[in-house]
């Protein structure tokens, strides 16, 4: 849900800026407060359908444009995000912070570990399975990652997320080591509480 909220807020803000409209101008046209509109654009509140209709009308855009290509979930067991797919996310204006959304998903009841990993030349071997999810962010090198029956080519800037129960192993025959940051998310079970 959070991913959809970010996409919705970003699309509203982009539509407003494309029309060179300030938050106050949009507020005046919708009858909403600039504060509420800012919260919507910065993913801090979920707008109701009537509010979205008012915003779309004030921006003279089709309501469906706010939801174009938006999905409610995926049954995929892994997700690869290439650098060109990562988006700059504008949050609070005037704070001089730069955000780049690499990957986001909802997590709860999770133990997380973060590791810096070097993939030496000639690495490979038998795939392993773990009891959690893994998120890899590639820093250096070019190598492959075997996920079940599939093989994914990885390069610097790629982010790969997958269900750790899927048999997996890195394979590096590139002639140079690779490095990555790995995040391991182990779900709590009733036995662990």
Q: Which domains does the chain have, with CATH numbers?
A: 2-73 (1.10.260.40), 74-193 (2.60.120.10)
Walking along the chain (193 residues) 10 residues at a time, the average pLDDT comes out as 72 91 95 91 84 94 82 64 75 57 59 81 84 90 94 95 90 91 72 41
Strand residue runs (E) in 64-149: 78-81, 87-89, 99-101, 110-119, 132-140, 143-147
Distance set, CA 11 to CA 82, 90, 140, 141 (Å): 21, 11, 33, 34
For 175, residues 6+ apart whose C-beta sits below 8 A from its C-beta are 121
Q: Give dist(CA 110, CA 112) in Å, integer.
A: 6
Q: What is the pLDDT of residue 162?
A: 93
> Pick from 129, 132, 165, 169: which is nearest to 152 by CA?
169
- Please tell me whether residue 77 adopts helix, strand or coil conformation: coil
pTM for the model: 0.55
Give the per-residue pLDDT at 192: 41
């Amino acid at each position: 849900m959070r991913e959809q909220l970010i996409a919705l807020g970003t699309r509203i803000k982009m539509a407003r800026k494309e029309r060179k409209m300030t938050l106050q101008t949009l507020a005046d046209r919708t009858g909403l407060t600039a504060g509420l509109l800012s919260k919507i654009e910065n993913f801090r509140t979920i707008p109701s359908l009537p509010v979205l209709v008012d915003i779309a009308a004030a921006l003279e855009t089709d309501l469906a444009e706010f939801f174009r290509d938006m999905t409610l979930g995926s049954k995929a067991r892994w997700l690869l995000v290439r650098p060109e797919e990562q988006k700059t996310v504008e949050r609070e204006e005037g704070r001089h912070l730069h955000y780049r959304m690499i990957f986001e998903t909802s997590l709860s009841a999770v133990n997380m570990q973060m590791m810096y990993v070097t993939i030496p030349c000639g690495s490979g071997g038998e795939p392993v399975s773990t009891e959690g999810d893994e998120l890899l962010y590639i820093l250096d090198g070019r190598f492959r990652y075997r996920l079940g029956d599939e093989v994914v080519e990885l390069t610097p800037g790629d982010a790969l997320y997958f269900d750790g129960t899927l048999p997996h192993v890195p394979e590096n025959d590139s002639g140079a080591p690779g490095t990555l940051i790995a995040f391991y998310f182990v779900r709590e079970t009733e036995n662990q509480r």
